[in-house]
Structure formats: structure tokens, C-alpha cells
Structure 1
Amino acid sequence: MSITPEFLDELRHRLPVSQVVGRHVQLKRQGREFAGLSPFNKEKTPSFTVNDQKQFYHCFSSGKHGDIISFVMEVEGLSFPEAVESLAAQAGMDVPKPTPQQAEQAERAKTLHDVCEAACVYFEASLQAPEGRAALEYVRARGLDDATIARFRIGYAPGDRQAMRQALKDQGFDDAMMIEAGLVKKSEYGNKEPFAFFSNRLLFPVTDRRGRVVAFGGRLLDGDGPKYLNSPDTPLFHKSKLLYNMASARQYAGKGHTVIVVEGYMDVIAMARAGFEGAVAPLGTALTEDQIAEAWRIAGTGGAAPILCFDGDAAGQRAAFRAVERVLPYLQPDKTVRFATMPAGEDPDSLIKSGGKQQLLACLKQTEALVDKLWQMELQSRELTTPEAWAGLKAALGKRVATIEHAELQRFYADEMYSRVKDASYQQRQAKRGGNANAGGYGGSYSGGRRFGRGGVPLPPPVKPRKPVSSSPFEYRVILKTLINHPGLIDEYEAAVCDLVMGDPGLSTLRDQMIDVWADDPEVTAEALADALSARGLDDVLGRLQQGQGIEVLGFAKPSAPLREARKGLAEAFAHLHRKALGEELSQTARRFGVTEEASADDDIDRWRSLHEELDQARLTAHEGE
């Protein structure tokens, strides 16, 4: 179509924004504007406004802004020409005539849509007719009621392969049209009549983004042939590009529903009946790049990442890994997918029937990020017992990551995979040496609820990540100096030192580099560790560890201190830091008593009591260690 700016201005003039938006949002007048709940986000307080005079809408919760055309495109999932055509019909305007070639294509597409719709109506009626009794009994045995059958327009293709053809011919559709729409096919024998593409199958209509029927998916009820059969590709339908239920899912995604990609038609229907209205499915094939892109479009900008839901069997996991390969090249910042795996032997349909909506919801809450699925994918079936095997894992991950086209995101993935390989290989080396890098979270062992390191020295309670304590970084300097001078203790205190939230960027960098050097060589000496840190440009920070505030009198931090003395001093430093953090949080909680509302004040009192008990226990532990 050939649309001029003048035509669009007239269209906007004839249709007030409030009229168009009011079809989707309940609006309430507020002065010169209208207000309502956002159609793009879930909210309880209206943040969506419409101004007819200025001919725009604005959503404060999502930041979306536009006119009637952009609104219809966003909410109804239409292209620009489709939105203009829809609005023009509402306004009683004729869209400008297209070129002869465009007119021919549009007329043919319209005719094909008409014949597909007529076929859908015929199939729906056939399901309710005597010849469809067995198909209807099958559907009801699967738990579908009449309302669901009608909503999804489920139908039946009779065994008589001339019945549908004749019914459509009676409505004025010729064989050429039905063949082009994929409804009938030519006989391989020249003297035979064309015959219906589907026979004795339960049919699920497939629609385009606007909800227009463009094809069918058929399930065989009995006899020979593939269990599922899709319409052939046509000018309206390419099975690698569309998703089953995409038009409905697009509407619900705009209302906050998460897009969930499942494996089959019945899974989609079961999900929708259970309230998961964002469910879609590929059309009998593995998920394609175009379908992944469509899932992202349905989810919309800023929407939740689509969840790819796979069965819990081996075939389901293979499908999940294929999806990882397909998705990786097209990742963008804030554009990703997550993975949900059904219990073994279950699919969404069967899980809902056996465990109800809550059982499925529990699975969907335990999704895996794409980065975790990639790691799992390359880790499976590998025996990582040699350096060559670890190098092979690293190379395979690098090859996968290299397919990510977004350069910055590729770097983030490369860093993450490098860290995982390094950490996993180190843990394996420690296990072989008989080390205990993870026991109790600190490399020690448990005994009666108390942590003890080597030599029987009590290890500190965990220093949970919190705001840095308000004092100078003296304690941090003591801890870092002790570990650099006694790198053999890093094994025991790695988790504790990594959990420290340091307010000093220099000390934080020194800590990270120290752990990095040690992870590459757990047997590193104090001299070699200091040289490596110096080579990384950290001389200034290393110098600060030796300066002022009495650090020079702490004998346990010196290189000459016996290891047992250094270990005990380090435990006391961590315990002191822990008590200090508890004390500060206790004071902050107490100060809030007079300024909080009653409900939150009760929570503060409970927290204050809990902190008191924790602080008393920390002091008792310190006293017992003396």
C-alpha cells in the first residue's frame, strides 16, 4: 500500500487516542487527560496516561510513548501496514490504493486467508458431526471441555478425502486456490481428482500474528502415516517461522504473562487452561532461529525472558542443547532465554494432570540461565581426568562463545567460562591432594557445630556480604598482609576473604589478584606471590599494607611468624570484623525503632533481638578461643 503523511494525519484526527486505547485499557478522565493501568506492565496504581489533544499516550512504568498506530502495533502485535489498515477500517477510511503488483499480491493473500478460514469452519463442524465422534471422544478423554475446543478451534479432517474439497467448491473456492493454500494436493496420477491433504486427523489451526488461520497441524487418530503432520509451506505459511498460539500469547504477554515455549499443541492448550497464557510451541520441528526471534518479539522489549520448557527425558535434553546452539549467536544485552526441565517422564500436559498448576509452577520457578545450560551442555559426558581433557573443555566452550555476535556480551561469556573452568579444575586438584577446599565453606571441617581449621584453630563465622563497616580498612589490610605472607592459609580462608565487601578499590583489586595468582599455583610461596602481584602493577597497594596504624606490631602478620600463630591471628581478625559488622547493624536497627511504621518496627525488633543473640554468640566464641 502507498500511504502518505496526509493520510496518517487524517487517520489520527478521526480516531481519538482514548477511543483506540479504550478498547484495551479501562480509562478514567483526569482533567484534560485519561489515566489507567499500564497495558505493558502489571501495576496497581495507574501510571498510563492518554492525551487526545496532543494525540499521544505515555506509560510512566515502562517508558513507552506513541500515537494510535504505535499503540495498536504494540498491543495487537501488528506490523505498520496492518495497524494502519485496521485503524482505517475503524475510521471508515479507504487505505490508498497499492500498485498493481501490490494489489495482485494482496488480493491473492486475502483469497488464501478466506479459503483457510472456510476450511477451519468446515473442520470444526466435522468434529461435532457423526463422522467426528471418535475424534471428539479422544479430545474429551484428554480432558478438553467444549469451551476449550471452541477457543482453540480444534477440528477434524474426515477420512473421505473429497468431502472438504467439495464443501469448499460449493462456496466458490476452486482447486487451484485450495492447492495453493495447502488444503488439497494434486494426484500423482494425471487422470485422478485432487484430494484433501489431511485425512482422519484431529486438526489444530495455526494462525499468524493477527490471529488469521494460515495452516493446520494434524494428529493421526488411526491408520498409517506420521503421528503429526503440518500443512505444506505456502505463501501464507512457513512452519519454521511461526509458533502455535502466537497471536493469543502476544496479547497476554502485553499484560505481563511470561512467554513459555513448550513442545506440542496439547502442552500449549494445557498451559493456557492452567493460566499460563503466554504458552507457544514450534510446529513439529526443533526450535528455529526465526521462532526464537518471534518468541522475543512476543515477549516485547523489557519483558521477562522467554522460558524454553523441555521434557525431562533424554530427547528433551537434546532438544534443550540444540536450542542453546540456536540462541547463542543472537543474544543481546537483556535479551536471553531461560530453561525449565520437566520431571522425568512428564510433559506440561501430564504434569498439570498429575500434580496440578502448583506442580508446574514449581518447575517454572527453578529455571536455569542460558550460561548455566551452556556449561552443562559441554560438561556432560566428559571425563575431566587429564590436562588434555580440561584443555578440550576450555576449547569447546571457547568455540561456543565465539558464535555470540554481540562483542561485549561475548567477552562477558568468555570471562565467565574461563572462571568456571579454572575454579572447577582447581577443586578437582584439591580433591586429588586430599584437600578440603569446601568443607564448612572455609576449607576446615565441622565438629559439634564449630568450625576448626588445621591445627585445631577455630575458624571465623561467615562474614556475610554487607555494606563495608564504617571504620578504616585496617582489618582488611591485616587480613591481606597475613595471607600474602602466608599463602598456605589462602586455601582455608578463600571463601571468607572473597565474601568481604571492601570499600577500598585498591584493596579489593589486590584481594582479587591474590586469589587469581594462588588459584593458578596453589603451592605458590610468599616471595613468588609478592613478585607476581608486583608484576601486575600493585606495588603501591602492597606498600600501603606496611604503613601505619600499628600493623607493624602484629607479629602474626609477619613472614617470620609460625604458621600456627598466623592462622590463629587471622581467625581473630575475621571474628573481630564479624562482631563489628553485627554491632553496626544492631545500632542501625535500634535507631530505626522511632522512625519506622508500626508493621516494620515489629520486624526491626525481631531483627534487633536476633542480632543481639548472634553478637552474644560471636563474643562467646571469641572468649572460648582465647
Structure 2
Amino acid sequence: MALSPQWLDELRMRTSLSAVVGRTLRLTKAGREFKACCPFHNEKTPSFYVNDEKGFYHCFGCEAHGDAIRWLTDQRGLPFMDAVKELAAEAGMEVPVPDPQAARRAEQRASLHDVTAAAQDWFESNLRGADGVQARSYLGRRGFSEATVREFGFGYAPEDRQALKRALGRFEEPMLIEAGMRIMVEDKEPYDRFRSRLMLPIHDTRGRVIAFGGRILDSEANPNAPKYLNSPDTPLFDKGRTLYNLHRAAPAARQSGRMIVVEGYMDAIALANAGIREAVAPLGTALTENQIELLWRQVERPILCFDGDKAGQRAAMRAISRALPMLRPAHSLVIVRLPTGMDPDDVIRDQGVGAIEQLLAQPASLLDTLWDFEKAASPLNSPEDKAGLKARLLDHVDSIQHPDIRALYKRELLERFSAYAFPPRPPREFRPRSEWQKGGFKPPAPSLSPEARDSLTRAMAGGARDSLTRAVIAGLVKFPDQILRHEDALSDLARRDQNVGPALDSLLEAAETLDLSTQSTISLERGLPAPPAKTLFAFLDEGIDPGDAREDLAEAVSLLVERPALESALAEATARFERDPEGSIADQGRLRERLLALNERLKRFGRRKAAADGESDT
């Protein structure tokens, strides 16, 4: 019976490995993993670990390694299909019925593996022979050691269009074409795909050769030929589901705790040649969702290491765009940008392996990279430009599927945008009190324009939506030295609430001209409507200590600013119910809880005042 790799991957994803292993082995929690003494060799100190997120077990003592299926076959001795059936029954999956066509395809794949293995042997022998002089010279210039050349299986494909056909004559032509080794065109004889190229085998996760990549050696003689050429997709090879060098990098990543993604396979080999063995590369395409999942099975935050030029920036952004919808707790990407015009090999050659290690040790977060890229994407000289930046950032946020991560990204990016688009006003120049008092001169109190007085009058007389807003405005007039203390919060509220925005803007403008050293006040000329005689807000009482009044006023400002922000977020969460019902309901619940807590704080505010009035009455 032939089981597809996709079906087996689904089975592994639905299986809790620790539950399977824990039936016959006592496991102890160790961070995000489980540990135990290895059942495959005698040991007193546990070196056997089970990782549910990555779906494998590993012993650092005897190197035993495998997934849930391997555990049942190796530890319990079950035949492969019996192990699969047992796990499928527990996972609620139907085992595919025998399919004669699938069986034939499986046999064909096995035959195609024979083709690629034979081609690899032939390429390697060519590199060692007389035809491989130019290729060996190129490898020498790149500084690749003999051990690296052997480990990565470098080979050479000669110029002759029929050379591989003659060398692999035991395989039929259709098989060579299906394996991607030959090209068939109408009305012409098929010919070898790879010619006059340095060859590299591409392996699956089991270490079997499934495809090839070839680098041209004489670009002047072939100016129109691509610099790198990969095998096409075949029954063995799907470039969107394959990462170059993963079968070597995965064990190294388990030791180092990191996985590095570079742009091309020569970059991965250059890092391995320098001793950094946990590097992989996509194969001529942007990083795909399947490849990101492969990476997350190894580490939680793979390091994307891209060239510092514009092409490298675009590659990083394409990867980020693919990853954003997939983000989940503790799983993300981090990004290293190399110096402009340099690839990993250039950095190692010019600055040594220590320089690349230093860069890898200080990657930028996905969020930082997203912010930096979009901020630099176009000029930001006008309000329209800045609004475009905000729209681009929110488009990225909207693509995130996980509700908590989406909310956190939105909050962080909007805070950065606000700090950039609405920078704080410059600090006022300090003027010593003595300068104002020379000759008995006392600076006049700043007065409000008629328009400013009118806006404050409307807000105090009922234009503000509630007593809290009116009380805060009255408190700021009473204690104008507190206006600039709360400048950021008041500016944000002015943008949100058009009813009190003009009044708050007037106060902020007037406060900038205050001389606090002389306890200057705001001149109201005609005055403002007085707050109610009976008010819940102690900071408006005449007899209250000024220090206590200022602290109560600060809390009132906090309550005033937080409420519209929560109400706006609640309205937004409600509006997206149709496209994201689960996330909308969860966000609405959290926001309503915060609103209830805020209202309770308001009630405590009133109870404090009532208690204080009761004490004064007695």
C-alpha cells in the first residue's frame, strides 16, 4: 500500500508524540520538551528527549531519532503498516485503501531515485576527471575545502548535449526525462538539461538525491544562460516543499538551537565551510508556507539571512508577507541584513567568521523589519504620504490570523506610527525667575483667544459628553501646570473626540507660554462656567491639598483617555464579526471586561470623594 507523504505528514501532525511514548516510558517535563532515560541503551542520566512541537524524539547519547511511527516500529517492534493503522485510529484518520495506480507510482519513484543516484555518481566522477579542471579551479577560488567538496557532493556536467544519455544508457529515455535530467522538445532529439555546469545534488529529508542544481562556469561563452539552474518539479522533487541542506542542517540545529536561512545553496555551503552547519536555502523561489512550517519544526525563530541590497530586502519582505498569516505564539522569524553588496561568503572572506556570528547573534525582529521597510518604502513628506504608511502597516496587520498576535502587532505599529507622525512638541526654553523679576517686572498671564474661550465655554457648559470630561477641563484650568504633564494623552484624546478637541488644543497652546516658576495661570478674562457645586471629583474642591488635587487630576485624565480608546477598539472588534467571528467574540469579551474595570475605577473615584465628605461633616 502506498501512503502519500502528505497523508503521513497529516498523521504526524495529529499525533501527540509524548502521549505515544509516555505509554511505555516515564517522561518528565523539561521546559517545552519531555526527558527520560533512553530505552535504546543503558544510561543513568536522562539524555532522551521528546519534542511534541517538532514531532520527534532524540537521544543525545546513542543518537536514536524518529517520529511516532518510528517509535512504534523500533521500540514496540510493530510492522510499519500496523504502526500507521494504530496511530491513524487514534487520530481519527482513514488509512487510504490500496490503490494499484498509487503502487505503480511508488515503484516509479523508487526507480527515479535510482536515476538521480546514478546521475550523482557520474557528475562526481566527471569533477575528478580531465573535464572537471575548470570546475575544480572555481571551487578552489571559492575556498571550499576538500572535505566540503566531498560532503556536499560537488560534480560536473560536461558540455556535450548527449553525454548523460550515454552514461546512463541503462535507463530508458522517458525515465530520464521524468527525473528532470533530460529535456524533450517537439520534432527534436531530447538533450541533457545540465551542460557545462558545476553540479550540486539536492536531497530530501532522508538524504536521498531527488534533484540537482547547476552553476554556470563560463558566463561569457553563454551570456543568455541563467547563472543557476535547478531541476524542474518531478515526482521526486517539489521545490516549494524542499529546503536545500535540511537533512544536514536539522541535526546541527538541534545542537545549536538555531536555523539559518540564506538566499542560495552556495551561501549555505559557504557557511558550512566556515563551521556554521545549520544553514538551509530555498530553491530559486521565495520562502513558501510549507518551507516555513518545515523550519518551525526545527526551531521557533529561524534566522533569515539576506543580502543587504534591494533584492535582499525584497526577499525578506516576501518571506515576512508569507509568515504573517501563519504566526502563532512563540513562532516567528528574525532577520539579519548583511552589509550592502555582500553575501555570507563575502563577509567571511573580508571580516572572518566572527563577523558573521556577530550579525547572527543580533537579528532584527519581524516587527522591526516590517516597520523599517515600510517607513523607507516611499517619501513621507506630506500628510497623505504618512497616511499611506499607516494604511500599508494596517494591511500587514490584517493578514495576521491569530487574534492576540494581530492585536499586539496593531498596537505596537500604531504606537510607532503615532510617535513618528505626531512627534512631541519641543521643550520650552527655560528662563530663570530672576530674569522675569528684574525691576519688579512680572510676566503677564497668557490669555486665550476668543475662539479658544468659546471652545472651552462650550465644553464646560455641556458640549463635553459627560461630567468627567467637564471636570477634567475645569481641573486643567485650575492647575495649568498639569497640562503639559499630560500632553501626549490629551493630544491623543483631542484627535479621538471632536467635541472636546478644540478645547484641549486651546489649553495645550496656552500652556506652552506659561512660566511655571512664577506659578503663572491662564487668563480667562470673562471666566468659564463653574463646575457643579456637588461634584464627584475632589480635585475641584477649594479646600483640597494642591498635591492631592494634582494626583487625583492625573488619575481622572487617565480614565478619560482610556475609555474612548477601549470603546473604539470594541467597535472595531464588533465590526469584523462576519469575517472573523471567533476572534471578534474573544476580543469583544476582553474589551468589555476592561470597560467594566474602568467603570469600577470611576465608582471608586466617587466613593473616595463621598468618604472624604463624610469625614469632613463629622
Q: Secondary structure at the match of 2:345?
A: helix
Query: Are 2:409 and 1:413 aligned?
Result: yes
**What's 1:338 paired with?**
334
Asked if residue 517 in structure 1 is aligned to residue 493 in structure 2, the reply is yes
Distance 1:93 1:390, change over 3 A: closer
Match of 1:71 in 2: 57
Q: Secondary structure at the match of 2:545?
A: helix
Paired position in structure 1 for 2:178: 180
Question: Residues 60, 419 of structure 1: CA spacing in aligned structure 2 closer, same or farther, 3 A cutoff?
Answer: farther
Shift of 1:128: 0.7
SS of corresponding position for 1:131: helix
What is the RMSD computed on CA atoms of the aligned residues?
A: 4.7
1:157 positional shift: 0.8
Q: Could you tell me how far 1:216 is from its partner in structure 2?
A: 0.6
8 A Cα contact 1:261 1:306, kept in partner: yes
Equivalents in 2 of 1:485, 1:86: separation in Å? 80
TM-superposed deviation, 1:289: 2.6
Q: Which residue of 1 aligns with 2:228?
A: 228
Counterpart-to-counterpart distance in 2, 1:410 and 1:528: 39
**One-letter code aligned to 1:454:** F
Confirm or deny: 8 A CA contact 2:116 2:210 kept in the other structure. Answer: yes
Match of 1:612 in 2: none
**8 Å contact kept, 1:329–1:403:** yes
Mean Cα displacement is larger for which, 206-215 or 519-528? Answer: 519-528
TM-score, normalised to structure 2, is: 0.61
State how far apart, in whole Å, the 2-side matches of 1:527 and 1:341 are.
44
**1:320 corresponds to 2:316:** yes
**Aligned residue in 2 for 1:552:** 545
Paired with 1:257 and 1:274, the residues of 2 have a C-alpha distance of: 18
The answer on whether the counterparts of 2:270 and 2:345 sit within 8 Å (CA) in structure 1 is: yes
**Secondary structure at the residue paired with 1:165?**
helix
Matches within 5 A, 1:565-576: none
Aligned letter for 1:352?
I
Q: Does the 8 Å CA contact 1:487/1:524 hold for their aligned counterparts?
A: no
Q: Distance in 2 between matches of 1:256 and 1:38?
A: 18
Q: Residue 39 and residue 401 in structure 1: after superposition, are their counterparts in 2 closer, same or farther (change >3 A)?
A: closer
Instruction: State whether residues 57 and 66 of structure 2, in contact with CA within 8 Å, keep that contact through their aligned partners in structure 1.
Output: no
Residues 183-225 of structure 1: CA deviation (Å, up to 9, x unaligned): 12225434x3x32210110011111111111001100111321
Q: Which has the larger radius of gyration?
A: 2
Give me the whole-angstrom Cα distance separating, in 2, the residues matched to 1:188 and 1:347: 41
Amino acid at match of 1:50: C
Partner SS state of residue 37, structure 2: strand
Whichever residue aligns with residue 177 of structure 1, its letter is M
Alpha-carbon offset, residue 48 of structure 1: 3.5
Q: CA deviation at 1:558?
A: 9.8
Asked whether the equivalents of residues 205 and 213 of structure 1 are also in contact (C-alpha less than 8 Å), the reply is: yes
Gaps of 5+ in 1: 4-16, 22-31, 42-46, 437-442, 445-452, 458-480, 495-511, 530-540, 561-626
CA–CA separation in structure 1 for the residues paired with 2:483 and 2:48: 47
SS of 1:349's equivalent? helix
Q: String of CA shifts for 1:521-567, please: whole Å, max 9, x gaps.
A: 673639999xxxxxxxxxxx99476899x97154994999xxxxxxx
Picking from 435, 454, 461, the partner of 2:430 is: 454
What amino acid does structure 1 have at the position aligned with 2:184? K
**Measured at CA, do residues 34 and 291 of structure 1 come closer, stay the same or move farther in structure 2, by a change above 3 Å?**
closer
Give the % identical residues.
38
8 Å Cα contact 1:78-1:209 kept in structure 2: no
Equivalent-residue separation in structure 2 for 1:153 and 1:267 (angstroms): 15
Q: 1:308 Cα shift?
A: 1.1
Among 35, 42, 47, the residue aligned to 1:48: 35
- Alignment partners' CA distance in 2, 1:283 and 1:219: 13
The secondary structure found in structure 2 opposite 1:254 is: helix
Give the superposition deviation at 1:98: 6.0
- Displacement of 1:487 in angstroms is 6.2
8 Å contact from structure 2 (residues 57, 67) kept in 1: no
Tell me if structure 2 keeps the 8 A contact 1:201–1:219.
yes
What secondary structure does 2:413 align onto?
Answer: helix
Which residue number in structure 1 is paired with residue 305 of structure 2?
A: 309
Distance 2:186 2:65 in 1: 41
In the TM superposition, what whole-angstrom CA distance separates every residue of 1:357-379 from its partner, at most 9, and x where no partner exists?
11112222332111122222222
Q: Which moved more, 1:351-360 or 1:289-298?
A: 289-298
1:139-185 CA-to-partner distances (Å, cap 9, x unmatched) read 1110011100011111111112322222222xx32222211111122
Q: Is the 8 A contact 2:180 2:211 kept in 1?
A: yes
> Equivalents in 1 of 2:367, 2:480: separation in Å?
32
In structure 1, distance between residues paired with 2:26 and 2:363? 39
Report deviation, 1:292.
2.3
> Which of 373, 378, 384 is equivalent to 1:377?
373
Query: Which residue, 347, 368, 371 being the options, matches 2:364?
Result: 368
Distance 1:243 1:258 in 2: 15
The answer for the alignment partner of 2:132 in structure 1 is 132
Cα distance in structure 1, aligned partners of 2:302 and 2:233: 26
Q: What CA distance in whole angstroms lies between the structure 2 residues aligned with 1:287 and 1:354?
A: 28
Seen in structure 2, the aligned counterparts of structure 1 residues 483 and 327 have a Cα distance that, compared at 3 Å, is farther
What TM-score do the two structures reach when normalised by structure 1? 0.61
Q: Is the 8 A contact 1:338 1:369 kept in 2?
A: yes
Measure, in 1, the Cα distance between the counterparts of 2:411 and 2:419: 12
**Structure 2 partner of 1:424:** 420
* Residue aligning to 1:359: 355
Look up the SS of the partner of 1:219 in the other structure. Answer: strand
Q: Which residue type is aligned with residue 138 of structure 1?
A: Y
Answer yes or no: is the 8 Å Cα contact 2:73–2:80 preserved in 1. Answer: no
Contact 1:270 1:348 in 2 (8 A): yes
Mapped partners of 1:287, 1:558: distance in 2: 54
Report whether the alignment pairs 1:286 with 2:293: no
SS of residue paired to 1:332: coil
Alpha-carbon contact 1:486-1:526 (below 8 Å) kept: no
Contact 1:484–1:514 (CA under 8 A) maintained in structure 2 = no
Contact 1:488 1:523 (8 Å CA) reproduced: no
Structure 2 counterpart of 1:201 = 197
Distance (Å, rounded) in 1 between the aligned partners of 2:102 and 2:59: 22
User: 1:82-132: CA deviations, max 9, x gaps?
Assistant: x479849x9796767965444323211111112111111111111111111
Structure 2 distance, partners of 1:337, 1:493, is 37
Render the CA deviation track for 1:557-585: whole Å, top value 9, x for unaligned.
Answer: 4999xxxxxxxxxxxxxxxxxxxxxxxxx
Distance 1:379 1:323 in 2: 18
Cα gap change, 1:484 to 1:263, in 2 (>3 Å) = farther
* Residue matched to 1:109: 109
Query: Does the 8 Å contact 1:215/1:231 carry over to 2?
Result: yes
Is 1:165 the counterpart of 2:165 in the alignment? yes
C-alpha contact (below 8 Å) 2:113/2:210 kept by paired residues = yes
CA distance in 2 between counterparts of 1:308 and 1:120 reads: 30
Contact 1:58 1:65 in 2 (8 A): no
Shift of 1:312: 1.0
Aligned to 1:151: 151
Match of 1:573 in 2: none
After TM superposition, the structure 1 = structure 2 runs for residues 362-511 of structure 1, keeping only pairs within 5 Å, are 362-427=358-423, 430=424, 435-436=425-426, 443=427, 454-456=430-432, 486=479, 491=484
Question: For 2:228 and 2:379, how far apart are their aligned partners in 1?
Answer: 39
Distance, in Å, in 2 between the alignment partners of 1:2 and 1:72 is 27
